Amino acid sequence: MLPRYENRCAELAASPVPGSIQHDDLHSNNVCWPGDVEDVSSIRIIDWGDTSVGHPFGTMLSTLNSIAFHAGALHDGGSISDPRVLRMRDAYLEPFTSLATRKELLRWVALARSIGSVARALSWERALQDAPTSVAAQFDFPVRDWMLGMLEPWADVDLQTR
């Protein structure tokens, strides 16, 4: 798997999309909207513990999975095809359309989602490293799931069909 992972990282890094602060855990539980729903200035994003400087599409794993989950549209293995979720993805990509074609942007999202599964596994592993055995055993499952994300058929299908 290492050569596959390295190739995906190299291709994503070679894209013309510049690095940025990347939350890497942006989902509904990390977005607070304490004010009037019409007032977007009150939105606060919390839990910056997994943040890094990296490719801005890195957040697409957690973010799209969260949106799909709440829409009842997250398929086994992480595949996402619901038009509502894809519209959100496309809205996120719109500011980057001056840098690449839609096909390239979609490929880089697929790469980032695939690569991101390893980062998520490492994040969970790091969080559990000092936990008691009983707690680590209880939460070890997400680590395996995230690592298996590199093996999921959607990762290769998405990359081949974009």
> Residues 80-102: pLDDT tens digits?
889 999 999 999 999 999 999 99
User: Two tokens at 66?
Assistant: 């969260």
Domain ranges, residue 61: 17-116+154-161
Number of domains in the chain: 1
**Residue 128 included in any domain:** no
pTM here is 0.82
Mean pLDDT over the full length of the chain: 84
> Residues 103-149: pLDDT tens digits?
999 999 989 988 888 888 888 788 888 888 888 777 766 677 777 77
Distance CA 79, CA 48 (A): 26
User: Two tokens at 25?
Assistant: 């855990």
Distance CA 93, CA 55 (A): 13
> Residues 22-49: pLDDT tens digits?
888 888 889 898 878 788 888 899 999 8
Q: Is 1 within 8 Å of 150 (Cβ atoms)?
A: yes
3-state secondary structure 43-105: CEECCCCCCEEECHHHHHHHHHHHHHHHCCCCCHHHCCCCHHHHHHHHHHHHHHCCCCCHHHH
Q: Is 64 within 8 Å of 80 (Cβ atoms)?
A: yes
Distance CA 57, CA 41 (A): 24
**Residue 9 included in any domain:** no
Distance CA 9, CA 144 (A): 20
**Residue 85 included in any domain:** yes
**Residue 8 included in any domain:** no
**Residue 102 included in any domain:** yes
**Residue 6 included in any domain:** no
**Residue 2 included in any domain:** no
